[in-house]
């Protein structure tokens, strides 16, 4: 447990996960094997798509981009307000990163701002992010992808279980990635997956995550590598944990929605991520709160930490990151404003009613 009384993340792990891990340990086969195949089968059923398990959400982005044929110099659009991997992975692959501002209400990619970029530049990929678990306006993004001929990739690392118009994310025609990091809706400690309806693409991704090989050293097939890939494999130990975690997803989602509703209803003096009608299930991996200005935000975070409640400030926009010096001269009004005013309130999987009440009361006691 974190040294703080109320942590930012605490997964729902128990005896079933412990037994599953021990069973794999005692089996003598610890790497990728039958448990990984079982996990992928269950994920495929959950998403109604082909699902390929990998060792992290970042690896999932890399495998998806490689499978779709990304090349050095390709222009890749990313939201300017997102976790770093969304932008760093395509940059590592040689792409030119084109940040686009966000909608300050939903915190997701601003579709109108995206179209303005599409009118001026040839874009190869658009990676959109379901911030905190909130689905994007997928119909609008798909329409743009058809009109401007780019590949759409959904970063749903924070959105396992979320729905768009009553359809689960990961079940659409475009490629989607998920994360099973320790703070996510379910965890394999580190891990992730890619979903796609395209059988041929799924086989290519499966090869890329396994050093590009389509054959095997077993049964005389030899080590045949049809694609350039690397070791993005998840292990059977982690897959065994994921199998048990996936059984809990409905309970976890119900709790997160209930807690988010309490926060929205009872916390005073702050604003929150708006949920459009097309978002029929918000999985609330994170809960963002916005103060009136940066000084107020900093006071909320400081006071919560003084009371042993973990809290984090919002992400630094991509264009302000030191590792993107070529973007530092740019300005993005909405993402800069949200970054300065936002902080994250704990909404982890095992949060108790008492902890929720404590968080609400402590926030409401803070004088701004």
Residue 220 and residue 278 share a domain: no
Domain boundary among 214, 246, 278: 246
**Domain containing 283 — which CATH number?**
3.90.1150.10
Pinpoint the alpha helices (H) of 307-350.
333-341
Interstrand relation of 75-79 and 96-100 (parallel, antiparallel or unpaired)? parallel
Q: What CA–CA distance (Å, rounded) separates 316 from 282?
A: 23
Q: What is the mean pLDDT of the chain?
A: 96
Kindly tell me if the per-residue pLDDT of 362 is higher than 50.
yes
Residue 260 and residue 208 share a domain: no
Whether 5 and 309 have beta carbons less than 8 Å apart is answered as: yes
Confidence of residue 2 (pLDDT cuts 50, 70, 90): very low
Residue 95 and residue 29 share a domain: yes
Residue 164 and residue 31 share a domain: yes
Element counts in the chain: helices (H) and strands (E): 12, 13
Q: Got the DSSP string for 131-175?
A: GGGPPP-HHHHHHHHHHHT-EEEEE-TT-TT-EETTEETT-SSSE
Q: What CA–CA distance (Å, rounded) separates 174 from 332?
A: 28
Tell me, yes or no, whether 153 lies in a domain: yes
Q: What CA–CA distance (Å, rounded) separates 193 from 233?
A: 10
Angle of the 111-120 helix axis to the 138-148 helix axis, nearest 10 = 10
Kindly tell me if the per-residue pLDDT of 1 is higher than 50.
no
Residue 254 and residue 231 share a domain: no
| Alpha-carbon torsion angle 157, 159, 163, 169, nearest 10 | 10
Domain boundary among 207, 224, 246: 246
Tell me, yes or no, whether 1 lies in a domain: no
b/e code 174-211 from CB counts within 10 Å (16+ = b): bbbbbbbbebbbbbbebbbbbbbeeeebbbbbbbbbbe
Q: What DSSP element (H or E) covers 213?
A: none
Mean pLDDT within 65-89: 98
Residue 226 and residue 139 share a domain: yes
Q: What CA–CA distance (Å, rounded) separates 154 from 177?
A: 6
Tell me, yes or no, whether 7 lies in a domain: no
Domain boundary among 211, 246, 281: 246
* Geometric angle at alpha carbon 193, from 188 and 194, rounded to 5°: 175
What confidence score (pLDDT) does residue 368 get? 87
What confidence score (pLDDT) does residue 221 get? 57
Residue 221 and residue 78 share a domain: yes
Tell me, yes or no, whether 6 lies in a domain: no
Q: What CA–CA distance (Å, rounded) separates 156 from 119?
A: 26
Of 101, 192, 182, 114, nearest in space to 148 by CA = 114
Tell me, yes or no, whether 120 lies in a domain: yes
**Domain containing 66 — which CATH number?**
3.40.640.10
Provide CB contacts within 8 A for 140, sequence distance 6+.
111
Residue 215: give the domain boundaries: 15-100+108-246
- pLDDT tens figures, 309-350: 999 999 999 999 999 999 999 999 999 999 999 999 999 999
- Strand 50-54: give its sheet, edge to edge: 50-54, 192-196, 175-179, 151-155, 125-129, 75-79, 96-100
Residue 225 and residue 237 share a domain: yes
Of 265, 253, 270, 263, nearest in space to 287 by CA = 263
Kindly tell me if the per-residue pLDDT of 181 is higher than 60.
yes
Kindly tell me if the per-residue pLDDT of 288 is higher than 80.
yes
- pLDDT tens figures, 222-263: 678 889 999 999 999 999 999 999 999 999 999 999 999 999
What confidence score (pLDDT) does residue 213 get? 86
Tell me, yes or no, whether 39 lies in a domain: yes
Domain count, the chain: 2
Mean pLDDT within 159-170: 98
What confidence score (pLDDT) does residue 216 get? 57
Q: What CA–CA distance (Å, rounded) separates 292 from 302?
A: 16
What confidence score (pLDDT) does residue 276 get? 98
Residue 215 and residue 134 share a domain: yes
Tell me, yes or no, whether 70 lies in a domain: yes
What confidence score (pLDDT) does residue 4 get? 55
Interstrand relation of 125-129 and 75-79 (parallel, antiparallel or unpaired)? parallel
Phi, psi of 218 (to 5 degrees): -90, 150
Strand partners, 76: 97, 125
Residue 93 and residue 57 share a domain: yes
Confidence of residue 71 (pLDDT cuts 50, 70, 90): very high
Kindly tell me if the per-residue pLDDT of 3 is higher than 60.
no
Mean pLDDT within 139-162: 98
Residue 74 and residue 19 share a domain: yes
Residue 343 and residue 201 share a domain: no
Tell me, yes or no, whether 4 lies in a domain: no
Kindly calculate the radius of gyration of the chain based on its CA atoms and give it in whole angstroms: 21
**Mean pLDDT lowest among 48-62, 158-172, 186-200, 224-238:** 224-238
- pLDDT tens figures, 28-70: 898 999 999 999 999 999 999 999 999 999 999 999 999 999 9
């Amino acid at each position: 447990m974190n040294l703080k009384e109320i942590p930012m993340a605490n997964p729902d792990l128990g005896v079933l996960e412990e037994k599953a891990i021990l069973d794999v340990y005692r089996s003598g086969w610890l790497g990728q094997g039958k448990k990984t195949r079982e996990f992928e089968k269950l994920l495929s059923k959950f998403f109604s798509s082909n699902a390929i398990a990998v060792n992290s959400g970042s690896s999932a982005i890399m495998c998806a981009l490689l499978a779709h044929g990304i090349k050095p110099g390709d222009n890749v659009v990313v939201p300017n307000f997102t976790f770093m991997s969304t932008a760093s992975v395509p940059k590592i692959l040689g792409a030119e990163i084109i940040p686009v501002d966000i909608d300050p209400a939903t915190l997701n990619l601003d579709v109108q701002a995206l179209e303005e970029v599409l009118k001026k530049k040839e874009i190869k990929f658009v990676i959109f992010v379901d911030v905190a678990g909130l689905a994007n306006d997928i119909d609008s993004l798909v329409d743009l992808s058809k009109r401007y001929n780019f590949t759409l990739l959904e970063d749903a690392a924070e959105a396992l279980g979320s729905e768009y118009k009553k359809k689960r994310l990961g079940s659409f025609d475009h490629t989607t990635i998920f994360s099973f990091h320790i703070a996510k809706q379910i965890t394999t400690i580190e891990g992730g997956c890619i979903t796609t309806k395209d059988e041929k693409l799924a086989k290519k991704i499966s090869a890329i995550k396994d050093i590009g090989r389509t054959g095997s050293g077993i049964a005389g097939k030899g080590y045949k590598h049809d694609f350039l890939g690397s070791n993005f494999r998840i292990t059977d130990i982690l897959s065994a944990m994921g199998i048990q975690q996936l059984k809990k997803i409905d309970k976890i989602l119900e709790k997160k929605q209930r807690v988010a509703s309490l926060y929205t209803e009872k916390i005073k003096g702050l604003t929150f991520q708006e949920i459009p009608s097309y978002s029929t299930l918000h999985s609330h991996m994170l809960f963002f709160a916005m103060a009136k200005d940066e000084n107020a935000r900093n006071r909320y975070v400081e006071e919560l930490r003084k009371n042993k409640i973990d809290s984090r400030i919002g992400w630094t926009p991509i264009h302000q990151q030191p590792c993107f010096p070529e973007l530092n001269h740019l300005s993005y009004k909405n993402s800069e404003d949200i970054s300065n005013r936002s902080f994250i309130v704990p909404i982890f999987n095992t949060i108790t009613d008492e902890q929720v009440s404590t968080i609400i009361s402590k926030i409401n006691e803070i004088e701004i």
